[in-house]
Amino acid sequence: MSGVGVRLERVALTLGGRRVLDGLDLELRPGGRWLLCGANGAGKTQLLKLLAGERWPTPTGRERIAWYDAAGDELALPQLKPALALVGGERQDRYFRHDWNFTVQRTVGTGCRGTDRPLDRLRPAEAARVRELLRRFGLWPLRRRPFLSLSYGQRRLALLARALAGEPRLLLLDEPFNGLDAAARALLKRELARLGRSRTTLVVSAHRAEDVPGRYDSAVVLEAGRVVYAGPPAGAPRAWLDESAPPPPARRKAVRATGAPLVRLANVTLCRDYRPVIVGLDWTIGAGEHWAIVGANGSGKSTLLRFLHGDLPAAAGARIERRAHPPGTHVEAWRRRLGYVSPEFQSEYLDPVSVEELVVSGLRASVGLDGEPTRRERRRAAAALERVGLAHRRAAEFRSLSYGQRRVALIARALVAGPEALLLDEPLTGLDAPSRARTKALLSALAGEGLQLVMAVHHADDLVPEVRRVLQLADGRAKTSTRPDPLRDYFSPLR
């Protein structure tokens, strides 16, 4: 089966009154391997949706988009659609929004027919292909688990396997390495190398140099919705990888003086989908300490952060002490003292809200608003957005931002109420290199001001220098380290 080519001529796309893509002239040849690059908000995800037939160009009377085979014959989109596969953060969030919680095996199986939900029994050859993919992606032990009970990275692997189950002729991967631990990233690179020996047309977007695996025929670089480069990868502009952007000026104040630990945990067992994830955890986050939480996909990092935020209970027998939070006090009072950012939290914002309204919701500890923001709330939201570099988008609809920009907006939401600590689950995922550099500089400045950081990460480079303590999760257990270079022992063997 040959790959599918796509030809775009004078294509534009307007969303929410804003021109997202403008005057695109681009051709992807059948069977080619393409690298898609650009800063946050450049239009990469929207271009991938156009290529997948999930969006249609804004009518101008001059635009044209066509899919064709290796012989140059045009293909009708309705018949071709099952052979087009798109995987990315936004598509993954749809499973959460629609509560598509089938077993992992059935979820992967839907890729054979290109449906979102299981509709028909798979043919023997399809069922065999699904079983093979589950084993290749390390998902066989999880095949009977509900999809939404998996970790973020495990869900990403399942959706990548689902995409391959349909034997796609055009495979579109929007930052596919996001949320994957080092072992899973290596696995995906092997799968992409295997795919490179097929005739499938492949387009992959990336924000990190290490997420550009193997051989690519061409690179496409977008800037403000326009193609600024299309040609050999070696000649592509690399501003999207440049982390030398000057950081924002650090604003420091006196560090909060207190000797009480932020939390002290003893014999804490946490479960997900009625399964123990972390067992018998003893851990103290002392005053002024900054921690990294590391571990493989599914080890419990996100579950632990949700517990720290007060969203999940511990099993009976746990002892939990929270600073200035006496036993019997409603947990909502504790949540108001913390800032929290996570991929799952990002997907909860289903209703159309502006970026400003999203940040204001952090002052009310709510998802959405039950009334208009006050003048004081708007001022505080403006200050938080200014600090993260998104003040110019405060009136935009949150869902109109790029995936990485949404993550930055959620950091502003976490900061707006002046928290004592930030709980950050992969906070730099989806950010281009300059945005990562600016956000790391901001987090470093916040740590210098006395705000405690607890960060779950898969990349050592995502941590700020102030983080010198590590909690490593593996096989349901945890161990801590405070060595001079505590991260080297965990990350180096996995690179």
Span 437-458, pLDDT tens digits = 999 999 999 999 999 999 999 9
Close Cβ partners of 143 (under 8 Å, ≥ 6 residues apart): 103, 104, 105, 134
pLDDT in tens, 209-241: 888 877 889 999 999 999 999 999 888 887 766
pLDDT in tens, 7-19: 999 999 998 788 9
Report pLDDT for 494.
Answer: 40
pLDDT in tens, 109-156: 999 998 999 988 999 999 999 999 999 999 999 999 999 999 999 999
Q: Give domain limits for the chain.
A: 5-239, 263-494
List % helix, strand, coil for the chain (3-state, nearest 5).
35, 25, 40
Nearest-angstrom CA–CA distance, 454 and 436? 17
Report pLDDT for 243.
Answer: 61
Calculate what percentage of the chain has a pLDDT beyond 70.
Answer: 92
454, two tokens: 């607890």
Going by their DSSP bridges, the two strands 421-425 and 338-341 should be labelled as parallel
Report pLDDT for 227.
Answer: 95
Where does the pLDDT of residue 468 fall: very low under 50, low under 70, confident under 90, or very high at 90 and above? very high
Average pLDDT over residues 62-86: 93
Q: With 70 as the cut, is the pLDDT of residue 484 above it?
A: no
What is the number of H-type helices and E-type strands within the chain?
Answer: 15, 19
Where does the pLDDT of residue 257 fall: very low under 50, low under 70, confident under 90, or very high at 90 and above? very low
Report pLDDT for 38.
Answer: 92
Strands of 218-223's sheet, edge to edge?
84-87, 170-174, 201-205, 33-38, 218-223, 226-231
Q: With 60 as the cut, is the pLDDT of residue 483 above it?
A: no
Quick one: which of 308, 251, 248 has its CA closest to 450? 251
Q: With 50 as the cut, is the pLDDT of residue 208 above it?
A: yes
Angle, vertex CA 55, rays to CA 51 and CA 61, nearest 5: 95
Residue found under tokens 């290490």:
210
Query: Residue 34 corresponds to which amino acid?
Result: W
Query: Residue 180 corresponds to which amino acid?
Result: L
Nearest-angstrom CA–CA distance, 330 and 214? 52
Report pLDDT for 259.
Answer: 80
Average pLDDT over residues 190-209: 90
67, two tokens: 């899919």
Residue found under tokens 């390495």:
177
**Domain 263-494 fold:** Rossmann fold (3.40.50)
Quick one: which of 467, 113, 372 has its CA closest to 361? 372
Average pLDDT over residues 427-438: 91
Where does the pLDDT of residue 102 fall: very low under 50, low under 70, confident under 90, or very high at 90 and above? very high
> Residues 277, 283: contact at Cβ < 8 Å?
no
Lowest mean per-residue pLDDT among 176-185, 250-259, 336-345, 432-441: 250-259
Instruction: Tell me whether domains 5-239 and 263-494 share a fold.
Output: yes
Mean pLDDT, the chain, as a whole number? 90
246, two tokens: 């000057």
> Residues 357, 410: contact at Cβ < 8 Å?
no
Greatest C-alpha distance within the chain: 73
Report pLDDT for 491.
Answer: 56
Report pLDDT for 238.
Answer: 76
Q: In CATH, what is the architecture of 5-239?
A: 3-Layer(aba) Sandwich (3.40)
Nearest-angstrom CA–CA distance, 16 and 29? 31
Residue found under tokens 């689902």:
162
pLDDT in tens, 366-379: 877 888 999 999 99
Cβ atoms within 10 Å of 437's Cβ, excluding its own:
18
Report pLDDT for 493.
Answer: 41
Query: Residue 32 corresponds to which amino acid?
Result: G
Going by their DSSP bridges, the two strands 74-75 and 64-68 should be labelled as antiparallel
Nearest-angstrom CA–CA distance, 111 and 355? 34
